Amino acid sequence: MGHAPANPAPRHVAVIMDGNGRWARNRGLPRKAGHRAGAESVRQAVEACLERGVEFLTLYAFSSENWNRPPKEIDALMGLLEDFLRSKRREFKKQNVRLRTIGRTHLLPPSCREELAKAIQETAQNTGLTIILALSYGSREEITDATRRVALKIKNNELEPDAISPETIAAHLDTADFPDPDLLIRTSGELRLSNFLLWQLSYAEFFISTRNWPDFRKADFLEALEIYSRRQRRFGRVSAS
């Protein structure tokens, strides 16, 4: 007797794309080559999401902490991001994909900000998959910025302290326009959140793959969605049935 999946496809998948450097090292290649191969896995992840009707895909593309990497590697990552945006803009329009960002993107190099602004503007009306790039993103920084915005409203008598609810906090985060992720995928076997969506992942299911991100291709992404669909989510309640 067949069992119906416990869950439909996740609405929102968040991904920590880890292991590009290790993938490159294992092959005696520069780290940049790992990031380039990782960009191809991004394309395949997008295809998987389009195929399964995932509505939101958040990708941890550059963390606040990544600013501490050597300038050469930072340049390579920004260059890859720009290439990705340039090569994908027309396709995003065709695929009904909308692009958004979270994080302190004002810190990114001007050329990168320009490509982002163009892609965001040109895809703003699209209603299919929303790709959310986390860039210069750190969850503690995001919560700090949100707290400042809430404090300012209190100072300006627009908000009473007693009126602050979890919804108030959520509405002041960079992710205010998006539902919480249902599924977190992390590659390269690490069991850490690494300052990613600390608030938003409260009830997410985790899928950890031992593969490095450049080896995590469409079939692996589809497998993660499939495994998710068989999990029972309880949100702190007792299970139904």
Q: How far apart are CA 58 and CA 214, in angstroms?
A: 17
Positions that interact with ligand FPP (CB under 6 A): 17-22, 35, 38-39, 42, 59, 61, 66, 77, 80-81, 84, 133, 213
Which CB contacts under 8 angstroms, 24+ apart, belong to 69-75? 73/31, 73/32, 73/35
Q: Which CB, 63 or 200, lies closer to ligand FPP?
A: 63
Least Cβ distance, residue 198 to ligand FPP (angstroms): 18
Q: Is residue 66 annotated as part of the catalytic site, yes or no?
A: yes
Q: Which residue is nearest to ligand FPP (CB)?
A: 21
Q: Which CB, 21 or 103, lies closer to ligand FPP?
A: 21
Angle subtended by helix axes 31-52 and 218-229, to nearest 10 = 50
Q: Which of 7, 20, 26, 66 is catalytic?
A: 66
Q: Which CB, 23 or 178, lies closer to ligand FPP?
A: 23
Least Cβ distance, residue 125 to ligand FPP (angstroms): 22
Least Cβ distance, residue 69 to ligand FPP (angstroms): 8
Q: Is 94 helix (H, G, I), strand (E, B) or coil?
A: helix
- Start-to-end CA distance of the chain, whole Å, equals 17
* 73-to-34, 79, 80, 190, 199 alpha-carbon distances in Å: 11, 10, 11, 21, 29
Residue numbers annotated as active site: 18, 66
